[in-house]
């Protein structure tokens, strides 16, 4: 009799839990971008870059969700080069108003402007472009990828701390290189470094054979400087600059000493456990694009858990509030800037084998949140959508 009564009670409890289970559906949209040829193919980009980070975020949400009556689902859409990204976005928005996107800036803006997206909550997981956080911002588009200025401000803080105040710059001619170059020019001005010399890279020769002869001549007239900045976001020529300069100087920027959202060498603050789980899932190291996608999915998960809602409006309000915090394995809780939707986050400054420093660095203060010393602060932004 007692056994029957206990079974009935358990059946009732679990029946109510099952009936009240909340299904949360996220859309993940990847728009393939053309990859220009580079001198070396030693570091090919993984075909699942970004996507595996979103998958890990979903698994983390599901782990917590099992105790809260949540079921997490993610619809994955991958648009090939030349495909119709807008049509794919419309279809994805029809399945869920919560979307994580890996796409270039212009595509992100076009998606955010769709009528179907006006009540949606979109996350930019990979695009670092400053326009998305300034005059080209959109109220329904938040950013878990750090901006270029956040990365270059982190590097500038490190150079100031080391008293490497005189810099020279070599920049590539790809649009991504030029955008990074603009940020590298802006951060020295902000942190009172001096740009002593600058050149654009135009070599057509095979640097794998000629670097030891060509690079010293190319850098000979830079004059004295403390560090050489390289803007080579494609990974094309920077590796051939290192140890081949006329003056023996540290190299930083896109090569050697690099400010990144994430890197496989980040291990403190529980990051080793995140790295291990990602490697088990993807069979490779976690890249910045993966981290941006993971953070976006986890931000949704944290907001759903705290608000009890799955609607974009309440989730956005909570994510942009002072109450929102996300543990990001970087030593400081992650949050979002109300003035442009950018996720605040520390920036590791890394080599291939170690973390050299993590910005913001000691001595760089802010009246509110010291993470706001990286990137566009509220008085500096041209974003009016928020």
Q: What is the mean pLDDT of residues 121-138?
A: 98
Confidence class of residue 39 from pLDDT cuts 50, 70 and 90? low
Q: What is the mean pLDDT of residues 228-244?
A: 94
Distances (CA, A) of 129 to 41, 116, 207, 245, 311: 25, 24, 29, 30, 28
Contact between residue 330 and residue 243 where contact means Cβ atoms under 8 Å apart: no
User: Is residue 1's pLDDT more than 60?
Assistant: no
Contact between residue 285 and residue 211 where contact means Cβ atoms under 8 Å apart: no
Q: From the CB of residue 208, how many other CB atoms can be counted at a distance below 10 Å?
A: 10
- Tokens, residue 264: 């496989």
Q: What is the mean pLDDT of residues 273-277?
A: 98
Predicted pLDDT of residue 21: 80
Give pLDDT tens digits for 103-119. 999 999 999 999 999 99
pTM value is: 0.92
Q: What is the mean pLDDT of residues 67-92?
A: 97
- Helices 288-307 and 271-282 meet at what angle, rounded to 10? 110
The DSSP output letter for 361 is P
Cα-Cα-Cα-Cα torsion 314, 378, 138, 150, nearest 10 degrees, comes to -110
Distances (CA, A) of 166 to 35, 58, 209, 228, 234: 33, 45, 30, 9, 25
User: Is residue 9's pLDDT more than 70?
Assistant: no
Confidence class of residue 91 from pLDDT cuts 50, 70 and 90? very high
d(CA 289, CA 50): 5
Confidence class of residue 205 from pLDDT cuts 50, 70 and 90? low
Q: What is the mean pLDDT of residues 128-154?
A: 98
Confidence class of residue 282 from pLDDT cuts 50, 70 and 90? very high
Give pLDDT tens digits for 20-35. 589 999 999 999 998 8
3-state secondary structure 266-316: CCCCCHHHHHHHHHHHHCCCCCHHHHHHHHHHHHHHHHHHHHCCCCHHHHH
Predicted pLDDT of residue 211: 76
Chain mean position to CA 249: 29
User: Is residue 6's pLDDT more than 60?
Assistant: no
Question: Distance between terminal CA atoms of the chain?
Answer: 62
User: Is residue 178's pLDDT more than 80?
Assistant: yes
Predicted pLDDT of residue 271: 97
Predicted pLDDT of residue 19: 42
Greatest pairwise CA separation for the chain in angstroms: 94
User: Is residue 222's pLDDT more than 80?
Assistant: yes
Sign of torsion, CA 317 305 372 180? Answer: negative
Predicted pLDDT of residue 12: 40
347 or 365, which is more confident: 347
- Of 32, 45, 60, 30, the C-alpha closest to 280 is 60
- Of 32, 58, 24, 101, the C-alpha closest to 278 is 58
Side-by-side strand order, sheet with 194-200: 194-200, 166-171, 227-231, 251-253
3-state secondary structure 8-60: HHHHHHHHHHHHCCEEEEEEEEEECCCCCCCCCCCCCCCCCCCHHHHHHHHHH
Contact between residue 155 and residue 350 where contact means Cβ atoms under 8 Å apart: no
pLDDT > 70: what percent of the chain? 92
3-state helix, strand, coil in the chain (%, to 5): 40, 20, 40
User: Is residue 243's pLDDT more than 90?
Assistant: yes
Q: Which of 125-139, 251-265, 356-370 has the lowest mean pLDDT?
A: 356-370
Confidence class of residue 207 from pLDDT cuts 50, 70 and 90? low
């Amino acid at each position: 009799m007692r056994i029957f009564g206990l079974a009935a009670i358990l059946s009732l409890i679990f029946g109510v839990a099952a009936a009240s289970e909340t299904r949360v559906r996220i859309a993940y949209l990847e728009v393939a971008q053309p990859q220009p040829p580079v001198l070396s193919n030693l570091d090919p980009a993984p075909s699942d870059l970004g996507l595996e980070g979103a998958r890990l975020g979903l698994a983390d949400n599901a782990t917590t969700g099992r105790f809260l009556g949540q079921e997490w689902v993610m619809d994955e859409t991958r648009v090939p080069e030349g495909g119709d990204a807008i049509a794919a976005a419309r279809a994805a928005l029809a399945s869920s108003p919560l979307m994580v996107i890996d796409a270039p800036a212009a595509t992100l803006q076009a998606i955010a402007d769709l009528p179907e997206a006006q009540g949606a909550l979109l996350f930019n997981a990979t695009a670092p472009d400053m326009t998305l956080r300034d005059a080209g911002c959109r109220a329904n588009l938040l950013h878990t990828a750090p901006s270029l200025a956040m990365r270059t401000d982190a590097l500038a803080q490190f150079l100031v701390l080391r008293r490497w105040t005189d810099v020279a710059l070599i920049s590539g001619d790809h649009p991504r290189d030029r955008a990074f170059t603009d940020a590298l020019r802006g951060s020295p001005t902000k942190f009172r470094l001096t740009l002593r010399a600058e050149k654009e890279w135009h070599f057509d020769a095979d640097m794998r054979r000629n670097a030891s002869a060509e690079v010293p001549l190319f850098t000979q007239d830079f004059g004295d400087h403390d560090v050489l900045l390289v803007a080579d976001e494609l990974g094309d020529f920077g590796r051939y600059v290192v140890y081949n300069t006329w003056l023996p100087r540290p190299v930083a920027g896109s090569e050697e000493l690099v400010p990144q959202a994430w890197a496989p060498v980040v291990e403190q603050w529980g990051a080793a456990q995140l790295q291990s789980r990602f490697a088990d899932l993807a069979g490779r190291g976690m890249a910045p694009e993966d981290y941006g996608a993971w953070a976006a999915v986890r931000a949704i998960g944290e907001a759903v858990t705290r608000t009890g809602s799955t609607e974009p409006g309440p989730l956005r309000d909570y994510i942009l509030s002072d109450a929102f915090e996300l543990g990001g394995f970087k030593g400081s809780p992650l949050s979002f800037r109300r003035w442009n939707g950018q996720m605040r986050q520390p920036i590791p400054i890394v080599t291939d084998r170690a973390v050299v420093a993590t910005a913001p660095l000691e001595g760089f203060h802010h009246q509110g949140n010291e993470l706001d010393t990286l990137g566009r602060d509220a008085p500096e932004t041209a974003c009016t959508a928020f």
